[in-house]
């Protein structure tokens, strides 16, 4: 059988902890998710390693889904489409007009709205996948317990 890292820590709990990290890890504002996962794990008394594993597994999705989250949030809010023009944004630095700053903040808000709709689905899908992977790992006994002779 496989040794567990802590007494009473089931594969299902570990899988759902990974899934929580994955759902939080998709949050579209870069640089926020690691701290959010640390705090969630402490508050919910979960292990840090599985929640951070899920968080880091979500990084490609976090980057890839920024625009889809934005567009979904715009649809939900019935807002105008945010136009990305990096050259115009860089040209205005360091004196960004208030209207541009408000547009960027609203775009971030719309990304968070899109994430809030998709994150529960990501949580469930990641949980089911993680649970199955851990179940197969246990069944295959990839890491056998070594017993003292």
Strands (E), 11-148: none
> Could you state, in chain order, the average pLDDT of each consecutive group of 10 residues for the chain (149 residues)?
48 94 95 96 96 96 94 92 76 72 88 96 96 86 57
- pLDDT of amino acid 2: 42
pTM of the model: 0.79
- pLDDT of amino acid 25: 97
Q: Residues near 42 by Cβ (< 8 Å), separated by ≥ 6?
A: none
- pLDDT of amino acid 136: 87
Residue 14, judged by CB atoms within 10 A of its CB (0-12, 13-18, 19+), counts as: buried
- pLDDT of amino acid 146: 59
- pLDDT of amino acid 84: 75
User: HSE on the CB side for 89, CA within 13 Å?
Assistant: 10
- pLDDT of amino acid 132: 92
């Amino acid at each position: 059988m496989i040794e567990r890292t802590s007494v009473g820590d089931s594969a299902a709990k570990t899988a759902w902890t990974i899934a929580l990290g994955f759902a939080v890890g998709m949050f579209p504002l870069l640089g926020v998710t690691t701290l959010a996962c640390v705090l969630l794990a402490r508050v919910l008394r979960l292990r840090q390693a599985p929640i951070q594993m899920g968080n880091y597994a979500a990084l490609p999705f976090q980057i890839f889904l920024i625009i889809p989250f934005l567009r979904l949030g715009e649809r939900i809010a019935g807002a105008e489409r945010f136009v990305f023009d990096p050259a115009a944004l860089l040209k205005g630095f360091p004196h960004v007009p208030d209207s541009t700053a408000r547009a960027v903040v609203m775009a971030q808000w719309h990304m968070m709205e899109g994430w809030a709709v998709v994150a529960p689905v990501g949580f469930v899908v990641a949980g089911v996948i993680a649970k199955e992977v851990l179940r197969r790992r246990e069944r295959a006994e990839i890491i056998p317990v070594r017993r003292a002779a």
